[in-house]
Structure 1
Amino acid sequence: MIAACALALAGCASGTKQSAAQSPAANTYRVVLDTTKGPVTIDVDRTLAPNGAQRFYELVKAKYFDSARFYRVVPGFVVQWGAAADPAVTKKWDVTIPDDPVKASNVRGTVAFAATGQPNSRTTHLFINLGNNARLDAMGFAPIGRVTGGMNAVEHIYAGYGERPDQNLIGSQGNAYLNKSFPRLDYIESAHVVGR
């Protein structure tokens, strides 16, 4: 289960998008994920996990998550995403960030980065807790914020494929693999930081 909850794939944008993405995030900020199930609002608190909060901000500003599939959905546990639609973009962002101490529990609606189980292995993959997953706290999964709107949409994300999508193929083939093999996956149409 630890390995299944953890991933390390990534990607990055270039040019002005990259410069804008690398500006510091505010202490608190709001992100809206416009998904195929409806909007999901995430309030991020930098004081909970500064490294994770900054990386999420950079990824959203770079449009990294636009068209990203929710490739792992385990009812009562997590909804996970984090591979870019284009595997070349995923590869560019494949840079780890330092761990943050766990300052909040992985309760229903909190959002945290996935990891491989090794120290400092977070990259671009995140999950939303669908239940009280406090057991993840001791494993080092540090929430960066929580869903404050649209949890009903999150709970209706297609779960029929469970954990079947192959994470290595997602990283190497992106949405081409997912669209062909798992066409019913819901996804993020676009993501943006509110007011920035």
Structure 2
Amino acid sequence: MSFKKKATLALMAIASTAIFSIASNAQAEASPQVRFATSAGDFVVELYPDKAPKTVENFLQYVRDKHYDGTIFHRVIPNFMVQGGGFDLKYAQKATRAPVVHEGRQALEKGGPRNVSGTLAMARTNDPQSATAQFFINVNDNSFLNPSARDYGYTVFGQVVSGMATIDKIKSTPTGSGGPFPSDVPKTPILINSATLVK
């Protein structure tokens, strides 16, 4: 092989490596991560702005505003999900911004994750357009929560990437009544000490 051909191949290899590196960096930048420090331990969620951009930005703004700091997991149902982000230790509901537009169907169309164990989704009322700050983490494969042609379902916008043992601990905590809720409230409060953008 001639020197010219070897030099060309070497340049092509360098260019390919650079392109791969740029793509990897772009993917890393496009997938922010948030660390939750709780009284039950820590966990980290990775978010997918390419799948549900408005939902992710809404969530991140609450993180930046320190909204989740001092809130509790107020609804825990084993083999279903754990929900938090809306109430403080005295069960006072924290003020929120206007609801975020529902992106569940669009997220799935873009290849986003479904409501399976370990995924992060927005909580809401019966109104699909009512999600604000509360979120839940699936602890089971809850296919009935997935959006469909006839049902809005629930928008999945991230997943737990470390600390799933903490989520397992939360889901296993004894529950009962608490504050305005007749059931499913941890008897020992599980407090979110902080939610911090780490990536």
Q: TM-score, normalised by structure 1?
A: 0.72
Pairing partner for 1:185 from 180, 185, 189: 189
Which digits, 9 at most, give the CA deviation of each residue in 1:139-178, with x for residues without a partner? 421111000000011110163225x445xx48xxxxxxxx
Pairing partner for 1:71 from 48, 70, 74: 74
The residue type equivalent to 2:175 in the other structure is Y
**Partner of 1:155 in structure 2?**
168
Pairing partner for 2:61 from 47, 58, 63: 58
* Dislocated runs of 4+, deviation >2 Å: 84-89
Once residues 38 and 87 of structure 1 are traced to their aligned partners in structure 2, the CA distance between those partners, rounded to angstroms, is: 21
When Rg is computed on C-alpha atoms for both structures, the one with the higher figure is 2
CA contact (8 A) 2:104 2:156 kept: no
How many Å apart are 1:89 and its aligned residue?
7.7
Which digits, 9 at most, give the CA deviation of each residue in 1:81-132, with x for residues without a partner? 02143888822x1521111033221000000001112131101110000010
Unaligned runs of 5+ in 1: 1-25, 171-180
The SS at the match of 2:140 is coil
Q: How many residues align?
A: 156
The SS at the match of 2:175 is coil
The SS at the match of 1:57 is helix
**Partner of 2:142 in structure 1?**
133
CA contact (8 A) 1:31 1:42 kept: yes
Once residues 88 and 75 of structure 1 are traced to their aligned partners in structure 2, the CA distance between those partners, rounded to angstroms, is: 24
The alignment-based identity, stated in percent, is: 28
CA contact (8 A) 2:75 2:186 kept: no
User: Judging changes above 3 Å, is the alpha-carbon distance between structure 1 residues 87 and 75 closer, same or farther for their aligned structure 2 residues?
Assistant: closer
Which digits, 9 at most, give the CA deviation of each residue in 1:23-66, with x for residues without a partner? xxx63200000011211000001122112111110011111111
Q: TM-score, normalised by structure 2?
A: 0.71
CA contact (8 A) 2:173 2:186 kept: no
Pairing partner for 2:118 from 106, 109, 119: 109
Q: Which moved more, 1:181-190 or 1:100-109?
A: 181-190
